[in-house]
Structure 1
Amino acid sequence: MKSETFLDFLPSNFRHEKSFFIKNNLTDFENLSNLSEQDINEIQRKSSLCTLNNLKKIRAIALFKKEIGISPPQAYLLLHCGISSIKSLSLSTPHELQSKIGRLERILKVKNETGTTYSLLKEWIKKASQIEKSI
């Protein structure tokens, strides 16, 4: 039985980035969340198939998981709703996020399976605000 890594949830359009990270033994969300802009540029230089946009998304998802405890699918959902950093999450309201998620579901004509409730969104925003205040 194969053990799951942080990267296993990524959709197929992240295949090049996932392949690069696996080859270079960077499968832990802790390591991925600590990637600097310089690291990302170096990865892109080494593997031209890795896109800057996807690398930054992976780092953002890893940061959400590390700092706030948001699962990768939930973090990916936040990215699709325009929330790409802890700061942008801290500046949001639960109602605004719930509205963005609902709009995304209507556009895609799907119901998300991530279990994002109003109270959970409120908790994420509270944690993000605490992190922002401590910086």
Structure 2
Amino acid sequence: MESKNFLDFLPTNFRHEKSFFIQNNLTDFKKLSNLSDLDINEIQRKSPLCTLNNLKKIRAIAIFKKEIEISPPKAYLLLHCGIGSIKSLSLCTPYELERKIGRLERILRVKTEADITFALLKKWIKKAKQIYNSF
């Protein structure tokens, strides 16, 4: 049985980025969270099929995983709700975040399988505020 790595949750539209990271042994979320904009531009230069948008999303998901311990699928959900950084998460209220997730579910006409409670949202926001205020 193949062991799971950080990139396994990515949908198929990330196949080029996933392939590049696997070939270059960049499957650890800690390494991915430390990618700079310069690194991302270099990856895009080396592998033109990798898109800037997807590379930045992967980095944001890795940062959420590393700093706030949000699982990759839940971090991906946050990105779809317009929350792409620790700063943007720290500026939200649990009510706003719950509303954004609900709006996304209504637009997509699906109920997310993520078990996201109001208490969990509060915990994420509190941790994001602590991290953002420590800068």
TM bin (shorter chain): over 0.9
Query: Unpaired runs of 5+ in structure 2?
Result: none
- Where does residue 12 of structure 1 map in the other structure? 12
User: One-letter code of the match for 1:58?
Assistant: I
Pairs within 5 Å for 1:16-95: 16-95=16-95
Q: Counterparts of 2:61 and 2:114 in 1: how far apart (Å)?
A: 14
User: One-letter code of the match for 1:120?
Assistant: L
Q: Counterparts of 1:114 and 1:56 in 2: how far apart (Å)?
A: 22
User: One-letter code of the match for 2:124?
Assistant: W
* 2:105 aligned with 1:105: yes
CA deviations over 1:93-133 (Å, ceiling 9, x no partner): 00000000000001101101111111100000000000011
CA deviations over 1:66-86 (Å, ceiling 9, x no partner): 000000000000000000000
SS in structure 1 opposite 2:45? Answer: helix
Q: Counterparts of 2:73 and 2:98 in 1: how far apart (Å)?
A: 16
How many equivalent residue pairs? Answer: 135
- Where does residue 122 of structure 2 map in the other structure? 122
**RMSD over equivalenced CA pairs, Å:** 0.3
User: One-letter code of the match for 2:116?
Assistant: T
CA deviations over 1:10-38 (Å, ceiling 9, x no partner): 00000000000000000000000000000
Q: Counterparts of 1:36 and 1:132 in 2: how far apart (Å)?
A: 18
SS in structure 2 opposite 1:70? Answer: coil
SS in structure 1 opposite 2:83? Answer: coil
Q: Counterparts of 1:100 and 1:130 in 2: how far apart (Å)?
A: 22
Q: Counterparts of 2:101 and 2:120 in 1: how far apart (Å)?
A: 13
Percent identity between matched residues is: 78
Deviation at 1:63, TM superposition (A): 0.1
